[in-house]
């Protein structure tokens, strides 16, 4: 496949950075020779999340996920069509399992009864993502892929509150606080979101030292976002200076 212009790839990286600005700040801690793959992987995960969870029409979701599933299945043969594929294609990785996990996730339509259900619903896609990520960055597969599942659920907030899957908020939390998802989305469910953040925070395992830098950074930043939400301080990432300091500590293993 011919190399696409840099600005084509930059468009998708910029989309990802708008959603996860802390990863743009932390890129400075990634060795320069690894940055193209670091960026491409972050952009790909963002595109797959968007395809599976964030499109307003179920028919569009099905078409977009099928397109991405075909793209992933073509990567081992070097036949990717998307600009991201140039820096991420690697023939020995389980792209087909990731394609299957994406399709399965796009077909999940049941609401989770509790936090355990919500994490379980995410596991097939989370495991497939974790397998590819480990291979891309030459790291061992983590024994616990809950960090990826927690990340996917965290990224459903707050935008997902107004979508058909209702951000995968567990029904037991809504019942406990006597709120509907519409009320939570309208700003009347702070207690629900605090409890949900605490549950996700408790389910988030520490990233092992053997994990790729990408995952160690993302898990550390997810922990910070969840702690902020659990304290009732909203969804936005921490301030830039604190993020850079946190990224530096994670990168040096502190």
Other beta carbons less than 10 A from residue 178's beta carbon: 10
Residues 158-174 have a mean pLDDT of 90
Confidence (pLDDT) at 76: 87
Task: Name the average pLDDT for the chain.
Answer: 91
Concatenated DSSP letters for the chain?
-PPPPHHHHHHHHHHHHHH-HHHHHHGGGS-GGGHHHHHHHHHHHHHHHHHHH--S-HHHHHHHHHHHHHHHHHGGGT---SGGGGGT--TTS-HHHHHHHHHHHHT--PPPSSHHHHHHHHHHHHHHHHHHHHHHTT-PPPS--HHHHHHHHHTTTTGGGGSTTGGG--HHHHHHHT--HHHIIIII-HHHHHHHHHHHHHH-PPPPTTS-HHHHHHHHHHHHHHHHHHTT--SSPPPHHHHHHHHHHHHTT-
Q: If we measure between CA atoms, which residue out of 17, 22, 67, 10 comes closest to residue 46?
A: 17
Tell me the average pLDDT across 219-236: 94
How far is CA 190 from each of CA 103, 115, 212, rounded to the nearest angstrom? 32, 17, 34
Q: Where are the domains of the chain?
A: 6-251
For residue range 65-120, what is the model confidence (pLDDT) as tens digits? 999 999 999 998 888 899 998 778 776 899 999 999 999 998 888 889 999 999 99
**Per CATH, which fold does 6-251 belong to?**
Farnesyl Diphosphate Synthase (1.10.600)
Distance from C-alpha of 174 to C-alpha of 198, rounded to nearest angstrom: 15
> How far is CA 247 from each of CA 28, 42, 194, rounded to the nearest angstrom?
9, 16, 25
Express as a percent the part of the chain with pLDDT over 70.
96
Tens digits of residue pLDDT in 11-63: 999 999 999 999 999 999 999 999 999 999 999 999 999 999 988 788 999 99
155 contact partners, CB below 8 Å, separation of at least 6: 19, 49, 53
Q: How far is CA 156 from the centre of its chain?
A: 9
> Residue 5: which pLDDT band, with cuts at 50, 70 and 90?
very low
Tokens in use for 245?
Answer: 């300091």
Confidence of residue 4 (pLDDT cuts 50, 70, 90): very low
């Amino acid at each position: 496949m011919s190399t696409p212009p840099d600005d084509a790839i930059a468009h998708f990286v910029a989309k990802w950075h708008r959603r996860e600005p802390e990863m743009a700040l932390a890129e400075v801690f990634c060795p320069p020779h690894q940055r193209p793959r670091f960026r491409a992987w972050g952009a790909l995960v963002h595109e797959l999340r968007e395809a599976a969870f964030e499109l307003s029409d179920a028919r569009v979701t099905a078409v977009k996920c099928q397109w991405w599933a075909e793209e992933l299945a073509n990567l081992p043969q070097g036949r990717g069509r998307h600009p991201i594929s140039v820096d991420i294609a690697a023939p020995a990785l389980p792209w087909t399992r990731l394609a299957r996990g994406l399709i399965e996730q796009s077909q999940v339509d049941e609401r989770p009864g509790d936090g355990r259900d919500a994490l379980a619903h995410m596991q097939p896609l989370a495991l497939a993502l974790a397998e590819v990520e480990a291979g891309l960055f030459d790291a061992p597969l983590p024994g616990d892929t809950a960090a990826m599942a927690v990340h996917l659920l965290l990224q459903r907030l707050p935008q997902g509150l107004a979508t058909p899957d209702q951000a995968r908020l567990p029904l037991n939390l809504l019942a406990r606080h006597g709120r509907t998802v519409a009320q939570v989305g309208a700003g009347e469910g702070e207690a629900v979101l605090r409890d949900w953040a605490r549950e996700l925070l408790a389910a988030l395992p520490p990233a092992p030292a053997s994990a790729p830098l990408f995952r160690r950074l993302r898990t550390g930043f997810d922990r910070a976002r969840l702690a902020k939400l659990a304290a009732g301080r909203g969804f936005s990432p921490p301030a830039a200076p604190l993020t850079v300091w946190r990224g530096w500590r994670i990168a040096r293993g502190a």
